Amino acid sequence: MTTVLVPIANGSEDIEAITIIDVLRRGGAEVTVASVHEEKQIKAANGTNIVADVLLTDVAEQMYDAIVLPGGMPGAEHLRDSKLLIDMLEKHDIQDALLAAICASPAVVFGTHGFVVDKQATCYPGFEAGLTGAEYIVDQPVVMDGNVITGQGPAMAMAFSLAVLASLQGIDKTQEVAQGLLC
């Protein structure tokens, strides 16, 4: 079974976090939602309370097929500042696992820590300066380059999540899920 880690933090974008989790689970992925804080419950950017499955410290030694980051502020900053998460991203990147981020996270997390160097990427407009070493693609809502997928923002959460699903589970499963969602 395909395994996916979705790290969340206080201030993660509500729509992005829930859409990523939901679409990937509908597609048959085993999704682990992990709080980067010392408690499982986080308050998302627009006030939604989300309870993670585990703390990130509980799964620090596990390997996943993908790590997918929601955006939102200050959620992306909390993800960026989690040394444990960055260590996990580095370990997964070396193994060519899929790394995906949407909204502010491509710039704030991936850009800060060098995951988009020499890649094409997108992010929430206004954060593009943070895509250090990347070629910013302004006119595409979702961009895939190598093992990295980036997305622009909340309105693109469904397209982004389906792109991640397609990369992990293939087009047939993705079309089945998309049809069920009326996409």
**Among residues 29, 44, 103, 143, which one is catalytic?**
103
Question: What is the rounded CA–CA span in Å between residue 33 and residue 56?
Answer: 8
Percentage with pLDDT > 90 across the chain: 100
According to the model, what pLDDT value does residue 87 have? 98
pLDDT band at 109 (very low <50, low <70, confident <90, very high): very high
Contact 44, 13 (CB under 8 A): yes
Question: What is the rounded CA–CA span in Å between residue 177 and residue 172?
Answer: 9
Contact 168, 4 (CB under 8 A): yes
Nearest-CA neighbor of 18 among 168, 182, 160, 179? Answer: 160
What spatial distance separates the first Cα and last Cα of the chain, rounded to whole Å? Answer: 24
Q: What is the pLDDT of residues 36-82, one digit of tens each?
A: 999 999 999 999 999 999 999 999 999 999 999 999 999 999 999 99
The verdict on whether 183 is a catalytic residue reads no
Domains along the chain with CATH numbers:
3-176 (3.40.50.880)
Q: What is the pLDDT of residues 110-147, one digit of tens each?
A: 999 999 999 999 999 999 999 999 999 999 999 999 99
